Amino acid sequence: MNVFWSLEASNSYEEIILGLIERWPIDIVESFEGIVNKIISRLSRNKRLCPPSKKKNIRKCVIHKNVSLIYKINKTEIELVTFIDNRSDHRY
Protein backbone atom coordinates (compact mmCIF):
# COMPACT_ATOMS: atom_id res chain seq x y z
CA MET A 1 0.00 0.00 0.00
CA ASN A 2 1.29 3.48 -0.85
CA VAL A 3 2.15 5.92 1.92
CA PHE A 4 1.27 9.60 1.42
CA TRP A 5 2.69 12.44 3.53
CA SER A 6 0.22 15.23 4.27
CA LEU A 7 1.54 18.78 4.41
CA GLU A 8 1.03 18.77 8.19
CA ALA A 9 3.03 15.53 8.52
CA SER A 10 5.88 16.97 6.46
CA ASN A 11 5.93 20.20 8.45
CA SER A 12 5.71 18.54 11.88
CA TYR A 13 8.42 16.03 10.94
CA GLU A 14 10.70 18.84 9.79
CA GLU A 15 10.12 20.70 13.08
CA ILE A 16 11.05 17.59 15.06
CA ILE A 17 14.19 17.00 13.00
CA LEU A 18 15.28 20.63 13.36
CA GLY A 19 14.71 20.42 17.12
CA LEU A 20 16.79 17.26 17.32
CA ILE A 21 19.59 18.85 15.29
CA GLU A 22 19.70 21.77 17.74
CA ARG A 23 19.92 19.56 20.83
CA TRP A 24 21.53 16.25 19.86
CA PRO A 25 24.49 14.84 17.91
CA ILE A 26 23.87 13.96 14.27
CA ASP A 27 23.97 10.21 14.96
CA ILE A 28 20.89 10.57 17.21
CA VAL A 29 19.09 12.47 14.44
CA GLU A 30 20.03 9.82 11.88
CA SER A 31 18.87 7.07 14.24
CA PHE A 32 15.50 8.78 14.65
CA GLU A 33 15.16 9.15 10.87
CA GLY A 34 15.99 5.47 10.46
CA ILE A 35 13.30 4.47 12.95
CA VAL A 36 10.72 6.62 11.15
CA ASN A 37 11.67 5.17 7.76
CA LYS A 38 11.46 1.62 9.11
CA ILE A 39 7.99 2.24 10.58
CA ILE A 40 6.76 3.77 7.31
CA SER A 41 8.12 0.79 5.39
CA ARG A 42 6.38 -1.61 7.77
CA LEU A 43 3.15 0.41 7.49
CA SER A 44 3.18 -0.03 3.72
CA ARG A 45 3.04 -3.79 4.29
CA ASN A 46 0.74 -3.82 7.33
CA LYS A 47 -1.68 -0.90 7.51
CA ARG A 48 -2.90 -1.90 10.98
CA LEU A 49 0.60 -2.01 12.44
CA CYS A 50 -0.13 0.54 15.14
CA PRO A 51 -3.10 0.68 17.52
CA PRO A 52 -6.13 2.92 17.04
CA SER A 53 -5.96 6.35 18.63
CA LYS A 54 -8.70 7.89 20.77
CA LYS A 55 -9.86 9.75 17.65
CA LYS A 56 -11.97 7.74 15.20
CA ASN A 57 -10.28 6.29 12.08
CA ILE A 58 -6.83 7.40 13.25
CA ARG A 59 -3.91 5.23 14.34
CA LYS A 60 -0.94 6.17 16.48
CA CYS A 61 2.60 4.77 16.29
CA VAL A 62 4.87 5.62 19.20
CA ILE A 63 8.26 6.25 17.62
CA HIS A 64 9.95 7.39 20.80
CA LYS A 65 8.59 8.09 24.26
CA ASN A 66 8.34 11.75 23.21
CA VAL A 67 7.18 11.44 19.58
CA SER A 68 4.34 9.60 17.83
CA LEU A 69 3.24 9.31 14.22
CA ILE A 70 -0.47 9.76 13.52
CA TYR A 71 -1.87 8.16 10.38
CA LYS A 72 -5.12 7.11 8.78
CA ILE A 73 -5.99 4.38 6.34
CA ASN A 74 -7.71 5.46 3.15
CA LYS A 75 -9.06 3.12 0.45
CA THR A 76 -5.93 3.17 -1.70
CA GLU A 77 -3.24 4.63 0.56
CA ILE A 78 -2.02 5.32 4.05
CA GLU A 79 -1.96 9.02 4.90
CA LEU A 80 0.60 10.23 7.40
CA VAL A 81 -1.38 12.92 9.22
CA THR A 82 1.14 14.42 11.63
CA PHE A 83 3.93 13.81 14.10
CA ILE A 84 3.15 14.83 17.67
CA ASP A 85 5.03 15.50 20.88
CA ASN A 86 3.60 13.01 23.36
CA ARG A 87 4.29 15.44 26.21
CA SER A 88 1.95 18.03 24.72
CA ASP A 89 -1.80 18.35 25.02
CA HIS A 90 -2.91 17.00 21.65
CA ARG A 91 -6.16 15.76 20.17
CA TYR A 92 -4.92 12.26 19.31
> Global pTM?
0.93
- On the question of pLDDT at 92 being above 90, the answer is no
Please give the residue that has the higher pLDDT: either 92 or 60: 60
Asked if residues 59 and 53 have their Cβ atoms less than 8 Å apart, the reply is yes
Enumerate residues 6+ apart whose C-beta is below 8 A from 82.
6, 8, 9, 12, 69, 70, 92
Chain-centroid distance, C-alpha 3: 12
Query: What is the average pLDDT across 39-65?
Result: 94
**Half-sphere exposure for 74 (CA within 13 Å, toward CB):** 11
Query: What is the average pLDDT across 37-65?
Result: 94
Domains plus CATH for the chain? 2-85 (3.30.2310.20)
